[in-house]
Amino acid sequence: MEHTGEMTMKDIAREMGVSVATVSRALKDSPSISRERREKIQQFAREHNYIPNAIAEQLRNSRKSPPKVIGVIMPEFVHYYFATVLAGIEKVASDRGYMILIASSNESQQREIDICRAFYKNKVCGIIASQAKGTVDYGHFVALDKQKLPLVFFDRICPAINASRVVVDDYMGTFKAVSHLIESGCKRIVFYGTAPNLEIAINRFNGYKDALYKHGLTLDETLVKECDTREEAERITPELLELKDRPDAFFAVNDETAIGVLYTVKNRGLKIPEEVSICGFTNSTYAISCDPQLTSVEQNGYEIGSEAAEILIDMVEGSIPRDRATKRIVKTNLIVRETTR
């Protein structure tokens, strides 16, 4: 038999000249199939490395009981914050008897659209998602909402629908961090933000701007940059450090970007924090593995994931109405370390 890819029950049925239902019963050792036929089908399955798909089985049985599979869309897997959110989702889902299907959009709108279609086609009971940076058209999420599929967004929410969401207090987290920089003596503070179409970008920028105004400083647009990766920080920061009126502090949208600033400042021979202060956002493992250790805003990813999963499952099970958007805000904490005065 020539076969590429993963063996399915349909493949076995075709080769054995029986129905898929017969294969299914034989693999479950059902007495409704003769012992001889059961053994032949089981032997064929073993010889061709058939592996039962537990999730597919659960979806096939969804007519008997609601499927207990949650789709999770992450912008990326390697980011510390998203990994901690996923850990929170997985723990709650497991405790409440649900499985999760995880996919990464890789920050691509088209990939996000494809994932939404695949999840809907495979009858997940609900979706937890953080929007890709590249998403500017929200039709795929609007379509899911119209189909009454439970949706919960975290971190990067979809502005086109009034869906349930769990976010951190981005505005206050940034406001407190920038206020800390100003109160320690900094006056020229760079803001490194993320894609401007994201609500977290707006909230964090507003927190930065209001902290400046509250402390009597004026906003300098030349110090506001879209920069949310270490690579971008290492490319952009040297130009800012060469300004005649050099910045004396940097607030970065995440810790990786802040580490890029730290690396560049140290390479220029400037002292941290005496000459340049640096603050990140996430409080990841990066924050304590660098030298000097990074001041950062604790984002509480595990709590966000836990809350998102609880809300979604409550919607699926009916204890929260599906047409009512539940919104929860998780507080941030400023963790002061060695990169600020």
For 141-170, the pLDDT digits (tens) are: 999 999 999 999 999 999 899 999 999 999
In eight-state DSSP terms, residue 79 is S
* Alpha-carbon gap, residue 340 to 274, rounded angstroms: 8
**How many beta carbons lie within 10 A of that of residue 3, not counting itself?**
11
- Taking CA atoms, 175 is separated from 28, 219, 273, in Å, by 59, 14, 20
- Amino acid (1-letter code) at residue 139: G
pLDDT score of 64 more than 70: no
pLDDT digits (tens, 9 = 90+) for 182-218: 999 999 999 999 999 899 999 999 999 999 999 999 9
Torsion of CA 222, 227, 230, 232, to 10 degrees: -70
- pLDDT, mean over the chain: 92
* Alpha-carbon gap, residue 177 to 194, rounded angstroms: 17
Q: Do the Cβ atoms of 276 and 248 come closer than 8 Å?
A: yes
* Alpha-carbon gap, residue 173 to 72, rounded angstroms: 26
pLDDT score of 171 more than 70: yes
Is the backbone of residue 106 left (phi > 0), alpha (psi -120 to 50) or beta?
A: left
333-335 and 295-298 as β-strands: parallel, antiparallel, unpaired? antiparallel
Structure tokens at 156: 């990067």
Which residue's entry shows tokens 């009916």? 318
pLDDT score of 116 more than 80: yes
Query: In 3D, which of 272, 271, 258, 245 has the Cα closest to residue 339?
Result: 272
* Alpha-carbon gap, residue 229 to 19, rounded angstroms: 53
Confidence of residue 294 (pLDDT cuts 50, 70, 90): very high
Q: Do the Cβ atoms of 33 and 44 come closer than 8 Å?
A: no
Q: Whole-angstrom distance between the N-terminal and C-terminal Cα of the chain?
A: 70
Q: Do the Cβ atoms of 298 and 284 come closer than 8 Å?
A: no
Residue 99's beta-bridge partner residues?
Answer: 69
Percent of the chain with pLDDT over 70: 93
Q: Sign of the C-alpha dihedral, residues 238, 242, 248, 252?
A: negative
pLDDT digits (tens, 9 = 90+) for 221-256: 999 999 999 999 999 999 999 999 999 999 999 999
Structure tokens at 69: 């599979």
Confidence of residue 27 (pLDDT cuts 50, 70, 90): confident
Confidence of residue 3 (pLDDT cuts 50, 70, 90): very low
Confidence of residue 59 (pLDDT cuts 50, 70, 90): low
E strands of the chain, at which residues? 69-74, 99-104, 126-129, 151-154, 164-168, 189-193, 224-226, 249-252, 277-282, 295-298, 327-330, 333-335
pLDDT score of 65 more than 70: no
User: What value, to the nearest 5°, has the Cα angle with vertex 277 and ends 273 and 278?
Assistant: 125
Report phi then psi at 168, rounded to 5.
Answer: -90, 165
Residues counted in the chain: 341
Mapping DSSP to helix (H, G, I), strand (E, B) and coil, where does residue 22 land?
A: helix
pLDDT in the model for residue 5? 54
Torsion of CA 230, 78, 331, 315, to 10 degrees: 150
Confidence of residue 69 (pLDDT cuts 50, 70, 90): very high
pLDDT in the model for residue 53? 65
pTM: 0.80
pLDDT in the model for residue 323? 86
pLDDT in the model for residue 332? 96
Alpha helices (H) along 135-269: 139-146, 170-183, 199-214, 230-241, 255-267
